[in-house]
Amino acid sequence: MMLFADEINWVEVANINNQIQSIDVNSIKYNNEGFLSVLMKYSETNPADQEIENSNTYLMAIDCENRLFSKLPVNGELKQVKKWIKPIDDKLMKTTIINSCFY
């Protein structure tokens, strides 16, 4: 899958403790089981000046009904999910899941 900058539309879905999760709304797909896949960008900002220090892009699979997720490579597919993760004490991921499922 090749992506070009003009095709990506990043929308922030969570911002907690200098950590930001954004989704590319143009990449959102639901499969026939109701699972969501979306291109995700995780960024860390410097608390002093809010400049982005670190950024990582990956594909996220989300089970909206059960609020579970799985991280996949950018060129991955939902069928590659081997294990779903429950974000027990991860407020950033919980917020990311809830807000991403609104799309």
What's the whole-number mean pLDDT along residues 32-46? 94
52 — pLDDT class (breaks 50, 70, 90): confident
Indicate the burial class of 13 (C-beta count within 10 angstroms; 0-12, 13-18, 19 or more).
buried
Domain boundaries, the chain: 5-100
pTM: 0.87
Reported confidence tier of residue 7, pLDDT bands at 50, 70, 90: confident
Identify the pLDDT of residue 3. Answer: 52
Residue 50 pLDDT class (50, 70, 90 cuts): confident
